[in-house]
Amino acid sequence: GVLSYIDGIGSKKFVKIAKGLQKKYGAEFKAPKLLLNMAEKGETFYERFDPYARSEAKKAA
């Protein structure tokens, strides 16, 4: 899906694309703060919101 696509190209590159689209087409293409923060830190959605982290933490406990 979309999150995999963003992770695949990198949040920094996606924000750059979004800024270009925002400049050309308007505010509806503005990247949200979460994505801007992720781009600054070089994070991905699957690192930040790991769906398996909870189940692994339960196994370790």
Q: Please report which confidence band the pLDDT of residue 51 belongs to, taking 50, 70 and 90 as the band edges.
A: confident
**Count of the separate structural domains present in the chain:** 1
Q: What is the mean pLDDT of residues 3-22?
A: 97
DSSP result, the chain:
-HHHHHHHH-HHHHHHHHHHHHHHH-GGGPPPHHHHHHHHHT--HHHHT-TTHHHHHHHH-
Share of the chain above pLDDT 90, in %: 75
> Could you list the residue range(s) of the whole structural domain that residue 29 is in?
2-60
Question: How far is 52 from 33, CA to CA, in rounded Å?
Answer: 25
Q: Please report which confidence band the pLDDT of residue 53 belongs to, taking 50, 70 and 90 as the band edges.
A: confident
Q: First vs last Cα of the chain: how many Å apart? A: 32
